[in-house]
Amino acid sequence: MSTDRFSVDGETAIITGSSSGIGKSIAERFAEDGVDVVVCSREQDNVDPVAEAINDSDSPGRALAVECDVTDRDAVDALVEATVEEFGGLDVLVNNAGASFMADFDDISPNGWKTIIDININGTYHCTHAAAEYLKDGGGSVINLASVAGQRGSPLMSPYGAAKAAVINLTTTLSYEWAHDDVRVNCIAPGFVATPGVESQMGVSAENIDRDDVARRIGTVEEIADVTQFLASPASSYLVGETITAQGVPQIDEEHEV
């Protein structure tokens, strides 16, 4: 069986929140496949090393680092303009930038709530809305990063869960609207993934995760990059408006566990 349709070679992609973790892994995977990538985060110093490492590697794809706060529409417009100016267009947008904190709902301040909503859902809106013209020019793909917290809720993460639920709904809604423009919009809802942040909180190192071990509930950033590449590739041409849950072994409701 040919694997050509799993390739994204020759395209251009923006990956937000790509200074580390899942976003960084996606950028590296795309570049290895021949995709020109624009990596961005709120601090230029954090994203420059990612682009430099890609450009210094044997990856056929090139990388451009851009400082961008996804909650700032002017900065997002500048990000898209820099992408088109550098690479001539835009084919894939990965809305990965996100943030969260843990607190009881009663203890969340209006500013804390607004901050998480602003980054996770308004940032997704800004990037997708700004990129629309170029994604529709010849067809493209939008891949949103949500969370299992947006599918079933998560204690102590109410603003994050609410925002990610909105991302999932936006994915479905926009997939209807943009299908006739040849733009596929899909979503990934990861469970626990051994990002640097999760490692610091849970003490689980990605180095100790065996991808051949089926019976686990924590994944690697590379596994999310695998799903992202699939959704960006022609191999997923019949997937439109879907949210793929990547969480390992499903959790069983304690009331029904035997």
Cα–Cα distance, 242 to 169 (Å, whole number): 10
Element (H, E) at 125: helix 123-135
Q: Do 180 and 245 form a contact (C-beta atoms < 8 A)?
A: no
Residue 151 in tokens: 């599918």
Q: Residue 258, class by beta-carbon neighbours within 10 Å (0-12 exposed, 13-18 middle, 19+ buried)?
A: exposed
Examine the residue annotation and report whether 160 is marked as an active-site residue of this protein: yes
Cα–Cα distance, 129 to 226 (Å, whole number): 26
- Exactly one of 125, 134, 160, 238 is catalytic; name it: 160
Active site residues: 160
